[in-house]
Structure 1
Amino acid sequence: MKQLRPYPQAVVTKKAARAISAGHPWVFEGEVRSLEPSPATGEAATNGCVVDVREEKGTYLGTGLLSEQSKIRVRLVTRNANDRVDDAFWRRKAAWAWDYRECVMGARALPGAEPDTNCCRVVFSEADGFPGLTVDRYEDVLVSQVGTVGMERLRPTVCPALLDTLRGRGQAIRGIYERNDIASRAKEGLPSYTGWWPEPGACDPGEPSVVARENGVAYALDLVHSQKTGFFLDQKYNRRAVRDIAAGRRVLDCFSHVGPFGLNAAAGGAAFVRCVDISQAACDLAAANARLNGLEDVMGFTCANVFEYLDALIADKRRRTEEGGPFDLIVLDPPAFTKSRKNVSAAARGYREINNQALRLLPRGGYLATCSCSHFMDADRLKDAVAQAAHDANVQLRQVEERQQAPDHPIVWGIPETHYLDFLIFQVV
């Protein structure tokens, strides 16, 4: 490195250098040979600070944020040696992130519905160059989650950059509600807390609740107690795909959470929709959302373990009728059956079982919408599980669509962790 850089330096292994050259932004604990002070100022590295990453021979690889307590020791934010990681740098990144959402979602709203950017992911961590930061927009509220010490230190810089960017583009934003209560923060030595980000000089934003609209469907969201940041936005266009084929059908929405797939099916003209979830609280919220949209007359809600529930429907035709069947469109949106590579085989058996159960309930001509939301259970593994399920159920499938997460959750080539949702629609033939 010919120029004197202002940041401390992390000297890394050849393995780390190869991964960075391939596009991956992480340097793991065992790949850091040494931490050296800034060649320009002599400043030593501290937890959460900005560091340059270089090879032992001096080749510059990138600049990132140091996490001394994490197995992911450095997360890159740029590979451009001309960048200075200052306020202007983060404001550019915030502007690029919003520019991207406006481009890929700004013109896709349903006729007469709200803009698709009214509810969307604004920042998707490494995919937008903000490692450890997730920011979702629900109408006039941004909800953020910080999972890394580097991004925690940058909150006073990043939060104003996001607010100024959106407000400067004419978006009415009350404030940022921080849901920094995720378990992963403990791995970085960070405390757990929630509350409004204290915007200097701003008025009290009020209660952190909102009625959000997606695909023209309204949802009453409690941003304090809900899962993740409040709602699962990544299925936005997959829900629309189900809505497109739901007219006149009897729909079974499994793992329904607060009912977004079922509500979209009902809004699309389904004859009847049964939502099933193991959480009574989720079923109650789904029922409330049905009433909010005037769809309660065509929807029903059952609190049950989905695996046991489907077995009961298969075994008892009368129970099937009582629940609103027979069903000719079944949606499977299960939670991730695995969050680690070592459990992939067990997860595959779970996906195979649940899809087999659904296929045994569907008639010829019926439709199955099924998905996996685990990076480790990738598209090929999901397809294999569904293929085995179809073989075991003695049915043949015709693929209608293969989809992924919505584009506000961008997939960056070279960072496989950014691709975590796969969604398939089939017809039984």
Structure 2
Amino acid sequence: MNFPVLYLRKGAERRLRAGHLWVYSNEVDIQRSPLTQFEAGTQAELRAANDKPLGVVFVNPHALICGRLISRDAAQGITPNRLTQRMETALTLRERLFEKPFYRWVFGDSDGLSGLVVDRFGDTVVVQISTAGMEQMKESIIRAVQRLAHPKAIILKNDGKMRSVEGLDTYIEQAHGPEAELLEVAYEDMWTEVVISGRYGVKSIQ
């Protein structure tokens, strides 16, 4: 894939080489790659000042965290297929750790999916998108959830504060299936009741 290039200032690559995943706007060489030339959610190749490739990032020129690393291979960004593969890898791990399908399925950066959190409540899956890059992949995320988990309902709970930082609208939407009501959710040896609603979001009942 051919990506536009985002250049870092001299020395700014040290954090990323040490394992960090975010690029701050003051680390960008705006003479070589003005942030204003990027649209929010664009995938771009990230390069050090000496022109060495560092990977691919989601870019948002309006945010302090203007780059989020999604691949350390400069030739590979996130495609619908790679998104599904990473979600499948995350699901396989959670299924090994939990006997019942009640868990956080996707943990954002930890699963190579910056800006995406997915919670599974049995037959209902709640998706939270917090970055412009992931918002552009919303339909691919929904299809991946349907393919991998076959839930009865999918809720987009996109009302977090980070969305305003990314310049995104907030909303809660029933993306698939009927609106869920009161559910019993298993956690270890305990059960709790949870309201999962496309209108009201997700909350526990004491």
TM-score for both structures, normalised by structure 1: 0.44
Shift of 1:15: 3.8
8 Å contact from structure 2 (residues 55, 75) kept in 1:
no
Task: Pick from 95, 102, 112 the counterpart of residue 119 of structure 1.
Answer: 102
Shift of 1:36: 4.4
Aligned to 1:27: 23
Pair 1:12 & 2:8 matched = yes
* Superposition pairs of residues 160-199 of structure 1, within 5 angstroms: 160-167=143-150, 173-197=151-175, 199=176
**CA shift digits 1:12-66 (9 cap, x unpaired):** 12343111111111000111113649xxxxxx63211111100122100010111
**In 2, Cα distance between equivalents of 1:129 and 1:139:** 24
> Which residue of structure 2 aligns with residue 56 of structure 1?
49
| Structure 2, unpaired ranges of 5+ | none
Cα drift, residue 214 of structure 1: 1.4
| 1:217 positional shift | 2.4
| Structure 1: 5+ residue stretches without partners | 38-43, 107-114, 168-172, 232-284, 287-429
Q: Quick check: 1:145 aligned with 2:128?
A: yes
The answer as to whether partners of 1:163 and 1:175 remain within 8 angstroms in 2 is no
Alignment of 1:10-409 (within 5 A): 10-34=6-30, 36=33, 45-103=38-96, 105-106=97-98, 115-116=99-100, 118-167=101-150, 173-197=151-175, 199=176, 204-224=177-197, 225=200, 229-230=202-203, 285-286=205-206
Assess, with a 3 A threshold, how the Cα gap between structure 1 residues 59 and 152 changes in structure 2: closer, same or farther: same
Q: Which has the higher contact order (CA 8 A, sep 6+)?
A: 2
Q: Distance in 1 between matches of 2:60 and 2:181?
A: 31
Partners of 2:178 and 2:61 in 1: how far apart?
Answer: 35
- Secondary structure of the 2:91 match is helix
| Alpha carbons of structure 1 residues 62 and 212: separation in structure 2 relative to 1, 3 Å | same
Between the aligned residues of both structures, percent identity stands at 25
Conserved 8 A contact 1:121-1:137: yes
Query: Amino acid of the residue matched to residue 26 of structure 1?
Result: W
What is the TM-score when the length of structure 2 is the normalising length?
0.88
Letter in 2 for 1:221: V
Matched residue type, 2:119: D
Supply the distance in 2 between the matched residues of 1:16 and 1:100 (Cα, whole angstroms). Answer: 33
The count of corresponding residues between Structure 1 and Structure 2 is 201
Return the letter of the residue paired with 1:134.
Answer: V
1:371-394 CA distance string (max 9 Å, x none) = xxxxxxxxxxxxxxxxxxxxxxxx
Higher strand share: 2
Contact 1:9 1:45 in 2 (8 A): no
Alpha-carbon distance change, 141 to 30 in structure 1, aligned in 2, over 3 angstroms? same
Cα contact 1:177–1:208 (8 A) shared by 2: no
The 8 Å contact of residues 57 and 67 in structure 2, kept in 1 or not, is answered as yes
Q: Distance in 2 between matches of 1:230 and 1:164?
A: 26
Whole-angstrom CA distance in 1 between matches of 2:63 and 2:127: 21
1:6–1:125 distance in 2 versus 1, CA, 3 Å? same
Could you report, residue by residue, the CA deviation over 1:190-221 in whole angstroms, capped at 9, with x for unpaired residues?
11110212x4xxxx423354221212322221
1:46 counterpart letter in structure 2:
E
Counterpart amino acid of residue 76 in structure 1:
L
Q: Is the 8 A contact 1:178 1:195 kept in 2?
A: yes
Q: Which has the larger radius of gyration?
A: 1
- Over the aligned positions, Cα root-mean-square deviation in angstroms equals 2.1
Offset from partner CA, 1:141-169 (integer Å, 9 cap, x none): 111111111111111112211321223xx
The CA distance in 2 between the partners of 1:100 and 1:82, in whole Å, is: 26
Q: Any conservation in 1 of the 2:155–2:174 contact (CA below 8 Å)?
A: yes
Give the residue type in structure 1 aligned to 2:29: R
CA separation in 1, counterparts of 2:10 and 2:82? Answer: 28
